[in-house]
Amino acid sequence: MKPPSDIQKPPEGFRLRSATRADGPEVQKLIFGVLREFGLCPEPAATDADLLDIEVAYGSRGGWFMVLEEESTGTLVGSVALLPRSASEVELRKMYLSPAHRGRGLGRFLLSTACDEARRRGFHRMVLETAAALERAVRLYESAGFTRSDAKPHACRCEIVMSLDLQNASMEDLGRRSMETHYERLLGPIYGWMVGDFEAAVERATQAFRELGIGTARTGGASEVLDLGCGHGVHSVALARLGHAVTAVDLSDTLLQELAERSQVLAVRTARADLVGFLESFDGNPTGIVCLGDTLTHLPSVGAVRRLLDLPAALLGPGGFLVLGFRDYSGTPPVGDARFIPVRSDADRIHTCFLEYLETTVRVHDLVHTRKADGWTLQVGSYSKLRLAPADVSDWMRAAGFSVEDAGIARGMRTLVGRR
């Protein structure tokens, strides 16, 4: 079997290695145990026959089979495999994780590693078969960009066939796309309603900027501020009314259009772009950059956050400022009813969210009930946010060259101010 090449580094305390024939019994124990846990039947004479001799089943067909182990004990806790179907299509197989190791980001690591390996080998499309009983796995696949197919599964225990265009995007892109789709389909159209009185929100933002020392722009002096993840424009409008020229950046067409309508007489221009990509291509010398409204946790990885902090350091001159606002999900996860958050409600709409804490992310499930003429309808959707610790973000800002002030928490948002 081909050895791993250019694979991601496993989470601390684990190692990923190529499976051998000798791993067969332990892999079977893991996979058959998970199947039985969910009321599914192992098929050792059919779809699971590949586990009888992993090296022959995969190595002879150009496949790839990896196992995840605990470094301290050598215990096998996970598996993932690829098996070519054609020169352009590969099947994701045997992705399983022991019950004790779920909720720690290991499943996403296995999936991401498999997708990277499939791309490296030149495959254009990945397919998989799964069972409806494996709800958590199905959600993971959907969050990574897999879509359901009408194809008939080969395995008797499976009812769902899914596919992914590998050449279109990386796992980070897919996570970003999942969030973007969620906003366009569900949250974008009701975002203004969620926030409430726009003018009151602008007034709060204006006061907050003044308290942070970001007041009225100097008369006659050029002062451009970038608003990253601007939403429908509360902070952009506040900054513009304080006399700053604002470039407002977001991925939501719906929210950018709403901002454009609200800021027609103000010095605000909008840009639809990925935030890191926008900063990488930005040609200018802004006096300040703000990234508020929990935007930071929406980024697809810690690496993207670090990049977002490094780029402003190169763009801002002496006296320049970087203001970050985000929710702190890094503490002890809530349990029971505390995981349910009533966002807002009125006579015609109820918005509730449910938080599912994983090791490095929190999955936000939004439920929106809307009253129609013929009764209530329900829309649901979910996306992931990063669990960022304020102390870590402060350290990353300092490493990027900022002096950092922790401005505390207001309305659930931690604010950090970096200055050059």
Tens digit of pLDDT at every position of the chain (420 positions) = 333 334 456 777 899 999 999 999 999 999 999 999 999 999 998 999 999 999 999 988 999 999 999 999 999 999 999 999 999 999 999 999 999 988 677 888 899 899 989 988 889 999 999 999 998 898 888 877 788 988 999 888 999 999 998 876 555 665 666 677 778 888 889 999 999 999 999 999 999 999 998 877 654 556 899 999 999 999 999 999 999 999 999 988 889 999 999 999 999 999 998 898 899 888 888 999 999 999 999 998 888 899 899 999 889 999 899 999 999 999 999 999 999 999 999 999 999 999 999 878 898 999 999 999 999 999 988 888 999 999 999 999 999 999 999 999 998 999 999 999
Q: Please report how many Cα atoms fall inside a 13 Å half-sphere around the Cα of residue 414, on the Cβ side.
A: 18
Q: Which residues contact 265 (CB under 8 A, 6 or more apart)?
A: none
Q: How far is the C-alpha of 104 from the C-alpha of 134, rounded, in Å? A: 17
Q: Please report how many Cα atoms fall inside a 13 Å half-sphere around the Cα of residue 371, on the Cβ side.
A: 6
Q: How far is the C-alpha of 16 from the C-alpha of 79, rounded, in Å? A: 9
Rounded alpha-carbon distances, angstroms, from residue 352 to 192, 392, 398, 414: 16, 30, 37, 22
The residue type of 219 is T
Instruction: Return the pLDDT at 36.
Output: 95
With tokens 């684990």, the residue in question is 14
Q: Which residues contact 399 (CB under 8 A, 6 or more apart)?
A: none
Instruction: Return the pLDDT at 144.
Output: 77
Q: How far is the C-alpha of 196 from the C-alpha of 186, rounded, in Å? A: 17
Q: How far apart are the first and last CA of the chain?
A: 52
Task: Report which of 256, 249, 259 is spatially closest to residue 282, judged by C-alpha positions.
Answer: 249
3-state secondary structure of 340: strand
The residue type of 199 is E
Domains annotated for the chain, with CATH where assigned, are 14-168 (3.40.630.30), 180-329+388-419 (3.40.50.150), 336-386 (2.20.25)
